[in-house]
Amino acid sequence: MKKKKKLKKNLKIITSVLIIIVGILGITKPLWTKKENKNILYSEEVITTMKEQNIYDEIMKQDYSQTVEKMIEENKYKSEYLKEYIKINLQEREDFANLVNLFLNKNYNAEEINNIFEYLNDTNQKKLTEMDYIDLKEYFKISNMEVDKIDRYETYQKEKKVSVNDAVTKVNIGLDLEFYSEIETIKDPDSYTTLLNKYRGLPENYVPEDLTSLSINKNYKLRKEAAEAYENLQSAALLDNVKFYPFSAYRTKAYQNNLYTNYAKRDGTSAADTYSARPRHSEHELGLAVDIRSDGLSDNLTDEHYTWMLNNSYKYGFIVRYAKGSTPITGYIEEPWHLRFLGVDVATDVHEKGITFDEYYDLYLKENHK
């Protein structure tokens, strides 16, 4: 009898517990359902719009997408692009919805669009909106790539049999073109790190405002910071018994024009172009270049002094601008004597990377000079 009572008591307890569990399940089941439903993340306003536009069912079959929500919010949603929308990462920018549809219209897929937003700068993105579809898979991770030059990159790569990265940098410099055939006027002539070469020239009337005479010879001038750096470089060299002197520094446009014209008359234009810059293309006109000679020489450095300059000038903000082996890039013969001031940080980086300033500018500075 006692066993029966105990059994009944246990059954009541079990029943009570089950009732409580069922009650709890009854209350919480809707909440769990919501958590399991990934699409519940859409706002009420967006869900209402979905229903009004008869797109609710098709969207709810897919996982929640921030991009889909954005497209609906901005009234840009197109049903034919749903499968691509859900694979496109939302970007916090005002023109996102418009760009997504524009790129999809041009037949870019979701992966390509994600790469466009991740790897291409605003300038390249804008250019891309004005062009037909381009296969960019080889170029997305090349930071200095410019989308409107891809045809030139491919042509140069085939002709020169170089890597894609190399082709991009060489074409950006302009090496697929004739020297002086297409000239860009620089917009930042006062910058210590502006690039001047056979494709980039100074504004017609540019003259540096802070020219300072060098203490060793008042006839030679550089911009103030470059002049101070030169004095420090020369003092440091003397401690290593390396004696050198300037023989050319800042030049006016008229001076450079006269110099180049005389060379061209003497040796012909083609030859003159290999060792002299045309007016408005000489770094001397920036007030940031100085030609130096070893003690006892008239216009050059000894091999020993050249080696010292390569290994030390960057510490004071200078580089040997036209070093040995640089002719294919610069278009000038080797000029061990020609120093260009860039500032210590950039000069050090150029030295450590072991590339010409033309290459360095395209890879690391170009965007900052636009």
Catalytic positions, please?
Answer: 335
Does 27 score more than 90 pLDDT?
A: no
DSSP string, 70-109: HHHHTT---GGGHHHHTTSPP--STTHHHHHHHHHHTT--
C-alpha 201/C-alpha 196 separation (Å) is: 6
Q: What is the structure's pLDDT at 164?
A: 97
> What is residue 33's predicted lDDT score, i.e. its pLDDT?
36
pTM of the prediction?
A: 0.83
Please give the mean pLDDT across all residues of the chain: 91
Q: How much is the average pLDDT of 124-149?
A: 96
pLDDT(250) > 70: yes
In this predicted model, which residue has the larger pLDDT, 30 or 85? 85
In the predicted structure, residue 362 carries a pLDDT above the cut 80: yes
Residue 346 has pLDDT above 50, yes or no: yes
Mean pLDDT is lowest, of 33-47, 145-159, 223-237, for 33-47
In tens, the pLDDT along 115-126 reads 999 999 999 999
pLDDT tens digits, 266-308: 999 999 999 999 999 999 999 999 999 999 999 999 999 999 9
**Is the model more confident about 26 or about 192?**
192
Say what the pLDDT of residue 367 is.
75
**Residues pairing with 319 in the sheet:** 340
Measured CA to CA in angstroms, residue 285 lies from 86, 137, 161, 214, 222 at distances of 56, 42, 36, 16, 10
Q: How many Å apart are CA 185 and CA 183, to the nearest integer?
A: 6
